[in-house]
Chains A and B, each alone.
Chain A
Amino acid sequence: MNNLPSFPQCYKVDSKPHKFCPGCGHPIVLKMLGQVIDEMGLADQVVLMVDIGCSLLAWDYFDLPTTQTHHGRTVPTAVGFKMADPGKIVIAYMGDGGAYAIGLQHTLTACLRDNPLTTIVVNNTLYAMTGGQLAPTTMDGEITTTTPGGKKEFETLKGPELLKTVAHKEAFLARGSTEKPLVLKQYLKKAIETQKQGHFSLVEALSACPTNWKTNAPKTIEKMKELEAFFKQGEF
């Protein structure tokens, strides 16, 4: 029990307990992020921007300057802020819809330009806050509310792989999973270091959404294994 890590110092205590669903991956990602910020001593430098979707619930998660933006527009807001105040560590925190659908051109262009940002994409293969619709990362055959027969018509978007084709060689692209939080933590650390070195970074975190997957605990773990088999983890 005494080996449990304590909550990050940069947590905003009065917004706890948090608003995410039981079993959600977001709190795991955010906790790892919080630990990285603590360990790197970056609380005075970090500015956090969140998308619209379940990521918006992180608006008061940390005692860090944070703003909600509009769906898909987190990256351009981050780009503008970083241009105005390059000394800050700017983090764009989004879901798979914000990063890869409505905001795809912004994510891609920021990578193309090698904007020094850190983008975190929480990938749960569907649109959670709106009730579980198709996402660019919905897997083959996966059932969502808008693909009730199972998605078959087109490919699944694999973000880091796609961005690799336009990324600077010093950019950092990785995919981790909430099933391996300490590995994810390392990726987040590297991503922030990459921003400090002046390059683009993106960490995709495979994450569970038991609410919209309609899975109980054992089935959620099973489905996470499916995600891990479908989406390659590691640095790209």
Chain B
Amino acid sequence: MGNQILAQAAKDAGAKIMFGYPITPSSEILETWAKICLKDKSLSVLQTEDEMAAGFGTIGACLAGVPAFTATAGPGNILMQDAVVMAEALRIPMVVMIMQRGGMSTSTVIYSQEEVRLTCFGGNSEGFRIVYSTSNLQELYDYTLKAFQMAWQYRWPAFVLADGYQGKMKGEVEIPDQKLSIPNLSPILKKGVNLRNCYNLEEEIGEIIVNYSDEYQRKRQEMEEYEDYQAKDAKIIILSHGIVAAAAKVAVDQLRKKGISVGLFRPITLRPFPTKAASEIMGKTQKIIVIESAIGQLSGLFKEELFGLNTTLIEVNKPALGFTPAEIIKTIQAYE
């Protein structure tokens, strides 16, 4: 099951502690990790009293130089932002798995892509985060390893943004024999270190935010990832992420067989958004069709980064509902 894969991936990545509060559809991650802890005494788990404690506990462990992570969804994601924004401010490499569920309040426990904005920009801040949107079980595994690598390398909080469908589905993954170890592993809070996140003057914090932003922009290409699935030279390009992109891939294959010039551009990192690649690949297309299980959250990111791109943009929004390949085929045919 996706959630089980995530727990295993965290272990393989080098994580030593998981903090978490049960919330569907992420709870199996905590449960699987707890079982893993029974067999591996070098690992530990803590079910906390709420998601804030889970987030701050994760931060506490990272401060001690120990890779730690947490997982949540929906309303838990909202509470998690308290901790995430402190991780942004103090450059703490916390890793968070988000299993998106229905949007708006408690909603459904099943699925949506309505936590994109929250996961990318949920703090009272500029979103100095690394967000991976996975689209299948293999990616749940691969990008969890990557999230730990990149978080500790670049010192921004990193996310594996998946959803309830991926979390609950079952299938196989390939696990590599060689695993990279986490770079720069050492205590953050140590002698001579006094950390603050509270400032007095506008100028003080303004300078820090600008410096962070400059660094984030300077290094973004080292973090960005995307997939170009038959998109180059396509007349219509679908813009989708996560599991919707997986369905879109199937649709693209079938549409191509019918002779329709269509492709898929899939951002894998939503933060930093793969702007340069998007601009090059989608720059000359006739139509961009954004398909997402939300209202304009992905297209909002796209529009923000690629303002001025002179092409037709069509948004196909279905908040909290998935798309089958057949639906996508129909949609594209209607817009052809």
Cβ of B67 to closest chain A Cβ, rounded Å = 9
Tell whether, in the assembled complex, residue B56 and residue A70 are in contact, meaning their CB atoms are under 8 Å apart.
yes
Say whether A82 faces chain B, with CB atoms less than 8 Å apart.
Answer: yes
Say which size band chain B's interface belongs to: 35 or more
Tell whether, in the assembled complex, residue B196 and residue A80 are in contact, meaning their CB atoms are under 8 Å apart.
no
Q: Which residues of B contact A44 (CB under 8 A)?
A: 191
Q: Which residues of A contact B196 (CB under 8 A)?
A: 56, 59-60, 67-68
Say whether A85 faces chain B, with CB atoms less than 8 Å apart.
Answer: yes
Within 8 A of B (CB), among A1-43: 12
Within 8 A of A (CB), among B165-224: 187, 189-198
Tell whether, in the assembled complex, residue A73 and residue B48 are in contact, meaning their CB atoms are under 8 Å apart.
no
Tell whether, in the assembled complex, residue A68 and residue B48 are in contact, meaning their CB atoms are under 8 Å apart.
no
Say whether B289 faces chain A, with CB atoms less than 8 Å apart.
Answer: no
Are A83 and B194 CB-contacts (below 8 A) given A70-B82, A73-B83?
no
Q: From A56, A66, A67, A78, name the one whose CB has the most chain B CB atoms within 10 angstroms.
A: A67
Cβ of A85 to closest chain B Cβ, rounded Å = 4
Within 8 A of B (CB), among A92-117: 105-106, 108-109
Within 8 A of A (CB), among B40-87: 44, 46, 48-50, 52-66, 68, 82-83, 86
Q: Of A47, A78, A80, A109, which is within 8 A of B58 by CB?
A: A80
Say whether A229 faces chain B, with CB atoms less than 8 Å apart.
Answer: no
Q: Which residues of A contact B57 (CB under 8 A)?
A: 76-77, 79-80, 83
Tell whether, in the assembled complex, residue B60 and residue A78 are in contact, meaning their CB atoms are under 8 Å apart.
yes
Tell whether, in the assembled complex, residue B86 and residue A70 are in contact, meaning their CB atoms are under 8 Å apart.
yes
Say whether A52 faces chain B, with CB atoms less than 8 Å apart.
Answer: yes
Say whether A162 faces chain B, with CB atoms less than 8 Å apart.
Answer: no
Tell whether, in the assembled complex, residue B44 and residue A81 are in contact, meaning their CB atoms are under 8 Å apart.
no
Tell whether, in the assembled complex, residue A79 and residue B195 are in contact, meaning their CB atoms are under 8 Å apart.
no
Q: Which residues of B contact A81 (CB under 8 A)?
A: 60-61, 63-64, 189
Q: Which residues of B contact A70 (CB under 8 A)?
A: 56, 82-83, 86, 197
Q: Of B50, B83, B193, which is within 8 A of A105 by CB?
A: B50
Q: Of B44, B46, B187, B194, which is within 8 A of A60 by CB?
A: B194
Are A83 and B44 CB-contacts (below 8 A) given A66-B194, A73-B56?
yes
What residue of chain A has the Cβ atom nearest to residue B197's Cβ?
Answer: A68
Tell whether, in the assembled complex, residue A106 and residue B195 are in contact, meaning their CB atoms are under 8 Å apart.
no
Cβ of A173 to closest chain B Cβ, rounded Å = 19
User: How far, in angstroms, from A56 to B187 measured CA to CA in the complex?
Assistant: 22
Cβ of A138 to closest chain B Cβ, rounded Å = 24
Say whether A69 faces chain B, with CB atoms less than 8 Å apart.
Answer: yes
Say whether B19 faces chain A, with CB atoms less than 8 Å apart.
Answer: yes
Q: Which residues of A contact B68 (CB under 8 A)?
A: 80, 84
Are A82 and B60 CB-contacts (below 8 A) given A52-B198, A105-B49?
yes
Cβ of B114 to closest chain A Cβ, rounded Å = 25
User: How far, in angstroms, from A78 to B17 measured CA to CA in the complex?
Assistant: 14
User: How far, in angstroms, from A63 to B46 measured CA to CA in the complex?
Assistant: 31
What residue of chain A has the Cβ atom nearest to residue B191's Cβ?
Answer: A65
Are A88 and B197 CB-contacts (below 8 A) given A73-B83, A80-B57, A105-B49?
no
Tell whether, in the assembled complex, residue A65 and residue B193 are in contact, meaning their CB atoms are under 8 Å apart.
yes
Q: Which residues of B contact A77 (CB under 8 A)?
A: 56-57, 59-60, 63
Tell whether, in the assembled complex, residue A67 and residue B195 are in contact, meaning their CB atoms are under 8 Å apart.
yes
Tell whether, in the assembled complex, residue A56 and residue B190 are in contact, meaning their CB atoms are under 8 Å apart.
no
Within 8 A of B (CB), among A153-187: none
What residue of chain B has the Cβ atom nearest to residue A66's Cβ?
Answer: B194
Tell whether, in the assembled complex, residue B52 and residue A73 are in contact, meaning their CB atoms are under 8 Å apart.
yes
User: How far, in angstroms, from A68 to B197 measured CA to CA in the complex?
Assistant: 6
Q: From A66, A80, A82, A109, name the one whose CB has the most chain B CB atoms within 10 angstroms.
A: A80
Tell whether, in the assembled complex, residue A65 and residue B82 are in contact, meaning their CB atoms are under 8 Å apart.
no
Q: Which residues of A contact B195 (CB under 8 A)?
A: 59, 66-68
User: How far, in angstroms, from A12 to B193 measured CA to CA in the complex?
Assistant: 11
Are A85 and B194 CB-contacts (below 8 A) given A80-B60, A106-B49?
no
Tell whether, in the assembled complex, residue A69 and residue B194 are in contact, meaning their CB atoms are under 8 Å apart.
no
Cβ of B45 to closest chain A Cβ, rounded Å = 9
Residue-by-residue, is B242-253 near A (CB-CB < 8 Å gives 1, otherwise 0)? 000000000000
Tell whether, in the assembled complex, residue B198 and residue A79 are in contact, meaning their CB atoms are under 8 Å apart.
no
Tell whether, in the assembled complex, residue B53 and residue A109 are in contact, meaning their CB atoms are under 8 Å apart.
yes
Q: From B44, B56, B66, B86, name the one whose CB has the most chain A CB atoms within 10 angstroms.
A: B56
Say whether B16 faces chain A, with CB atoms less than 8 Å apart.
Answer: yes
Q: Which residues of B contact A66 (CB under 8 A)?
A: 189, 193-195
Are A83 and B50 CB-contacts (below 8 A) given A52-B198, A68-B195, A70-B86?
no
Known: A66-B193, A70-B82, A77-B59; 18 extra A-B contacts, CB below 8 A, are A47-B64, A49-B60, A59-B194, A65-B194, A67-B90, A67-B193, A73-B52, A75-B53, A76-B48, A77-B60, A80-B19, A80-B56, A80-B61, A85-B187, A105-B50, A108-B49, A109-B48, A109-B53
Q: Which residue numbers of A lie inside 8 Å of B, CB to CB? A: 12, 44, 47, 49, 52, 56, 59-60, 63-70, 72-73, 75-85, 88, 105-106, 108-109
Q: What are 26 A-B pairs at a CB distance below 8 A?
A: A47-B64, A47-B189, A59-B194, A65-B192, A66-B193, A67-B63, A67-B193, A67-B196, A68-B196, A68-B197, A69-B86, A72-B52, A73-B82, A75-B53, A76-B48, A76-B54, A76-B55, A78-B60, A81-B189, A84-B64, A84-B66, A85-B65, A85-B66, A106-B52, A106-B53, A109-B49
